[in-house]
Amino acid sequence: MQAEAYSNVRNNLKSFMKQVNDNSEAIIITSRNSEDNSVLISKADYDNLVENAYIRSSTANMDHILKSLKQLKNGKGKEHNWE
């Protein structure tokens, strides 16, 4: 993962925003105090993280997903045409 100093990101923010949107790779923004370090990611990647956190927060959802994966691995999956 790429790391950049805060001052460099501040001076080139538009370029770094384009970079994270073009390649979906996060950039660590470093500060003198490492507790203040942050991460720059695209909005699409952020939305994906939030959605996954929401789905995983439900025990019922995760149980259903894991049960479905187990069935698929055991050859019990069915192909569907959604057209």
Residue 22 has what pLDDT? 98
Left, alpha or beta for 77 (phi > 0: left; psi -120 to 50: alpha)? beta
Q: What angle do CA 11, 12, 14 make, to 5 degrees?
A: 130
Express each pLDDT in 10-39 by its tens digit.
999 999 999 999 999 999 999 999 999 999
Note the pLDDT tens digit of each residue in 35-71: 999 999 999 999 999 999 999 999 999 999 999 999 9
Could you give the 3-state DSSP secondary structure of residue 63? helix
Give me the residue label for tokens 């259903």: 64
Q: Which two tokens stand for residue 27?
A: 């950039």
